[in-house]
Structure 1
Amino acid sequence: MNLRPLLFLLIGGIFLQSCGLFGIRLKLHNPNQPGRVPNFSREQVLLGEMTPLRSSYDVHYYDLSIDFNPEEELLTGTVYIFATATEDLDRLQIDLHPNFEITYLSLGDDGPPLQYTRKERAVFVELSLLKGSSFVLYVDYNGKPKKAKKAPWKGGFVWETDEQVNPWAGVACESDGASLWWPLKDHTADEPDSMRLHYTVSEELMAIGNGQLESKSTIDGKATYNWYVSYPINTYNVTVYIGKFKELKQPYTGVGGEEMVLTHYVLEPNYEAAQYHFEQVPDILYSFEQQFGTYPWYRDGFKLVESPYEGMEHQTAIAYGNGYENDLNEDTDYIILHETAHEWWGNSVTAEDLADVWIQEGFATYAEALYLEDQEGKGAYDSHLFFYRLSIKNKYPVVGVRDRRWFHFRKNMDVYTKGAWILHTLREQINDDDLFRDILKTFYETYQYQIVRSKDFVAVVNEKTGRDFQWFFDQYLYEHYVPELEYTITEEGELLYKWVKAVENFTKFRLFVESDPMPFVIEPTLELQRQPLPKNNSGEWNIRIPRNMLVIVRENDKLGE
């Protein structure tokens, strides 16, 4: 989600910045102490909890209109919230940042004003409805949105000017929520089925949104761009880009023969650079379609939009700000690759709670490696993943705290890098590439356009393999540390080995041991195990345990004493 990982910098040593991550280790390690979960603010609680004030109604459509004033950094807007009461209710919660004044709130735009109170971003609306009732909330608001301290990692609006001093603006809010800039039910578990966006700017500028452009009108020196999103969309992906853009079109034919025109928007001076640089986009889309399934948004299209920040996976309108440089390898732009993967993982298949955001970020990060494998072979896949392994910290469980608006990256980025390595380790354990790839594809095709939890992926793994992998996910998703194996070879040629750190049921993990004359497999437990070793042609016992999975392996001569 999101986000600009700065992948490869070599200035006095390697470091990785992946959507906010810094830090390297040459070897996989477990910290002496786990990371501390922060004391959550009242705002994080109010935004994170799906209380009865939110679960009592379901939003199926938003109609959002905003007039943008970049010079004053001001928004004036209205939103219609179309919803259905799922329970009898007399009060409900919507959300909007306190920077904004609510000038009118009613049932429909011609109803009497409703009573409400505000606390942090929560807006508690007094409203009596019976279960099954359809209703439309109308909100009129204005104000100055919070500025992003470091988009996209620390969310908000970015107000900049281009080289010709034209206004150039955008927004990113995955970690913070869309209520930073418009009123809504701001929880990842409730996606509207569709949405319309009406963005008004000075007529010399363009305002780009998600989905397809339905129409444009110009009145009194102002232009309104009307966009339609015809699929479900997670609300932090709703976006706007303001600037003096030039449209760039590309034809695309998908794996199934379906055709789509890719319509990008770039700053005018960069048009020729973009023409050349974006030639990689169709190859990326095609590869992901082959590996995961059909591109999810054919009706709504695909576009890259030049943004005043590094990147973000806004659905069908990806933020691109990476300077038209291929920084992953000579043919591939990291931002294009990673954020495009999110169209499958994060945008189509979406975590119900940010606690499970590894399903978005870990899968998208792993998709990078799969793309490189598809283009260049297994060596490129391995190199990419081993570079990411340098940054795994193991300070927090990959699955985080539920019911809190808390994105892991502010403490570590294991949801990206360790998440990818969990999938790689699972692939090694299954030891059947066709089956593993079928698992990924089945998970996507089963849950496209849906909200998921980690347990949904575990269920697909178990069903497809015919085995119970709960032990695997108990270790890798819910514990902060990775398993630690110790071994030694006795003078008599016995291999002694055991887990010295692992969850209790971690007894089915297969480690492939390289040995001369014959390789073999061990399945360690927390109890000491012994295995006689054959001598090689030189009369020696020689083994090597590869470090190609999420396991710490070390020799301990005192094991068994």
Structure 2
Amino acid sequence: MPRSVPVARAVAVLLVLALAACDGEVRRGVAGAAGVRDPYFPKAGNGGYDVTHYGLTVGYDPEARRLSGEAEITARAERDLSAFNLDLKGMDVESVEVAGEAARFSRGGGQEGQELTVRPRDDLDEGAVFTAVVRYSGSPETITDPDGSEEGWLRTADGALGLGEPTGSMAWFPGNHHPSDKATYDITVTVPEGLRAVSNGELRSEVTKRGRTSFAWHVGEPMASYVATVAVGEYEVRRSKGEGVPPVYTAVDPSQVKESRSVLARIPEVMKWAELNFGPYPFSSVGAIVEREDDAGYALETQNRPVFPGAPSVELLVHELAHQWYGNSVTPKTWRDMWLNEGFATYAEWLWAEDHGGDSAQDVFDALYRDAYYDTREASDAVWAFPPAKPPSAARISDSPVYQRGGMVLHKIRQSVGDDTFYDIVQGWAAAHRHGNADTADFTAYVEKKAPGVDFSGIWKDWLYGDGKPDRP
């Protein structure tokens, strides 16, 4: 017998109230979004809250390939929340607490399986600062990017290496893994005695007990999770403090010590040059981690101390250190804005060569531009495959247009405004968005504001957003 409409509505209301109730109280908050709708990685990050600090305590056994961890995440609710998500790929979650109370949790996210949904005992009010503690363990995964490169937790001959760009950090700790949500960090890593654990920031303590050593690292400036790192293994460590430069901490695999020594010794020189060109260094320490050549397929600008697979060249060192300003301090709002990282770091290489007896930036620009019309090599054609501000897919955000054509955009600006205004723009951009996030529209607006008498529309149209090759010179 069909129910009357009023009865059906009453039953529906009762069902909603029953599902929304927790311990007898009606839920008024909503669940935070499972992703921030990044144009290339829509499931990355989470909505409804802003993380301010991560306290990560992890132990790793390289022989068993097992990691155990506790993540204490301090965040601010940006709306009334009945539930929120964290990104965590793989691993077994043992318990979750929110505000000191046990919280219900579930795993999901389809084939990607990266969503950890947390339902606190009580709703979180908008504006409330809360702490979530996640205890987890397992064998961390290596993640294959859309472009085929590997990130996440990379096993090495004597330990492991955690690399996060663009989403790999979710392989070894739960969090809001999108560059738009930056936080400070405390990272404590415990490993078998005789190994070292190197991370970001400054080493606060090193304690050995019962055959295991704990290394406590502190990151006092905001950091995007994709530039967080942990490197476990045998390293030759060097510390130095020179006049006018931040403390330098390098960790080098024993097989790479000889080849790396002369280049790493130039870090203070590179830093002084970079500050002259880009403005004050935005962090409190600097350095490098050098692994074996086959431990990773690429270098990465992990905050404070970039990771290199094998001894780096001076040019690569310049590139990754320039990222500390452009990418790590001024961080893209979405992965569509990668050229703001790579275009600046590539142009830093050109400026370094220009200032140290190599080709000028103009020479490099002219060669790339000339090759667009007279060079039939595949590498030349690749530079013009798409505009730097519009990569066609997640698999292409690290392709050569983002790097080289991104650098060419900066050189076109320099040609248009002259060196004095150009360096005002480069340094001012780093200062205006220090420890923050910005996108391409922010950058073009900033450039136009700093040079109000210059028409940049052609540069934006032809070099930044335009398809194909710009007009023949």
Task: State the TM-score bracket (shorter-chain normalisation).
Answer: 0.7 to 0.9
Q: Which residue of 2 is the match for residue 143 of structure 1?
A: 138
- Corresponding position: 1:266 with 2:252: yes
Q: Structure 2: which amino acid aligns with 1:472?
A: I
* Aligned pairs for 1:91-240 within 5 A: 91-97=83-89, 99-108=90-99, 110-119=100-109, 120-127=113-120, 128-147=123-142, 153-161=149-157, 167-192=158-183, 194-240=184-230
> SS state of the match for residue 383, structure 2?
coil
Residues 85 and 115 in structure 2, CA contact (< 8 A), matched pair in contact too: yes
Number of the residue aligned with 1:443: 429
- The equivalent of 2:350 in structure 1 is 369
Deviations 1:107-145 (A, max 9, x none): 14x422323342121222224211111111111111222
CA displacement at 1:439 relative to structure 2: 1.0
Aligned partner of 1:381 in structure 2 is: 361
Quick one: percent identity of the two aligned structures?
Answer: 25
Shift of 1:414: 0.9
Q: Does 1:338 align with 2:319?
A: yes
- CA distance change for structure 1 residues 79 and 391 in 2, over 3 Å: closer, same or farther? farther
Task: Determine if the alignment matches structure 1 residue 279 to structure 2 residue 265.
Answer: yes
Counterpart of 1:414 (choices 401, 407, 420) is 401
My pick for the range that moved more, 132-141 or 303-312, is: 303-312
1:442-521 alignment to 2 at 5 Å?
442-467=428-453, 468-484=455-471
CA distance in 2 between partners of 1:67 and 1:400 (Å): 41
Q: Which residue of 1 aligns with 2:241?
A: 251
Provide the C-alpha distance between the structure 2 equivalents of 1:169 and 1:479, rounded to a whole number of angstroms: 42
Question: Per the alignment, in what secondary structure is the counterpart of residue 242 of structure 2?
Answer: strand
Q: Distance in 2 between matches of 1:87 and 1:104?
A: 24
- Separation in 1 of the partners of 2:124 and 2:270? 48
Is 2:83 the partner of 1:87? no
Contact 1:95 1:183 in 2 (8 A): yes
CA drift at 1:94? 1.1
Residues 160, 360 of structure 1: alpha-carbon distance in 2 compared, 3 angstrom cutoff: same
Write the letter of the residue equivalent to 1:369: W
Output the amino acid matched with 2:108: R
Give the Å deviation of 1:336. Answer: 1.2
- CA drift at 1:386: 5.2
Q: Is the 8 A contact 1:173 1:236 kept in 2?
A: yes
Q: RMSD between aligned alpha carbons?
A: 2.7
1:198 CA displacement: 0.7
Alignment match, 2:302: 314
Q: 1:369, 1:385 within 8 Å by CA — same for their partners in 2?
A: no
* Residue 293 (structure 1) shift: 0.3
- Check if 1:428 corresponds to 2:415: yes
Whole-Å Cα distance in 2 between the matches of residues 55 and 470 of structure 1? 35
Query: How many residues are matched?
Result: 418
Letter in 1 for 2:469: V
- Tell me: CA distance 1:136–1:172, structure 2 relative to 1, closer, same or farther (3 Å): same
2: CA distance between counterparts of 1:73 and 1:315? 25
In structure 2, give the amino acid aligned to 1:458.
Answer: T
Shift, 1:154, TM fit: 2.8
- What amino acid is aligned across from residue 316 of structure 1 in structure 2? N
Amino acid of the residue matched to residue 459 of structure 2?
F
SS for the counterpart of 2:51 is strand
Give the Cα separation in 2 of the matches to 1:426 and 1:143: 50
Counterpart of 1:15? none
CA distance in 2, matches of 1:393, 1:272: 35
- Would you say the 8 A contact 1:152–1:173 is kept in 2? no
* Per-residue CA distance 1:2-30 (angstroms, 9 max, x = gap): xxxxxxxxxxxxxxxxxxxxxxxxxxxxx
In the other structure, the counterpart of 1:548 is none
After superposition, the Cα gap between the structure-2 partners of 1:480 and 1:464, relative to the gap in structure 1 and judged at 3 Å, is: same
Larger relative contact order (Cα-Cα within 8 Å, sequence gap ≥ 6): 1
Deviations 1:458-488 (A, max 9, x none): 122111111352453243333322333xxxx
Asked if structure 2 preserves the Cα contact closer than 8 Å seen for 1:154 and 1:175, the reply is: no
| CA spacing shift, 1:64–1:285, aligned 2, 3 Å | same
8 Å CA contact 2:327–2:341 kept in 1: the answer is: yes
- Contact 1:84–1:135 (8 Å) recurs in 2: yes
Q: Which has the larger radius of gyration?
A: 1
Contact 1:152 1:311 in 2 (8 A): no
- What is the alpha-carbon distance in structure 1 between the residues aligned to residue 351 and residue 193 of structure 2? 43
**Cα separation, 2, equivalents of 1:180 and 1:135:** 24
How many angstroms apart in 2 are the aligned matches of 1:50 and 1:145?
19
Task: Give SS of 2:355's match.
Answer: helix
CA contact (8 A) 1:304 1:319 kept: yes
Structure with greater helix share of residues: 2
Residues 393-417 of structure 1 deviation map (CA, whole Å, 9 limit, x = unaligned)? 3333322479x9x36346x321111
388-397 or 210-219, larger mean C-alpha shift: 388-397
In the alignment, the residues of structure 2 paired with residue 444 and residue 397 of structure 1 have an alpha-carbon distance, to the nearest angstrom, of 23
SS in 2 for 1:54: coil
Counterpart position of 2:330: 349
Query: Does the 8 A contact of 1:356 with 1:454 survive in 2?
Result: yes
Q: Is the contact made by 2:35 and 2:42 (CA closer than 8 Å) also made in structure 1?
A: no
Return the alpha-carbon distance in structure 1 between the equivalents of residues 395 and 437 of structure 2.
Answer: 17
1:509 matched residue in structure 2 = none
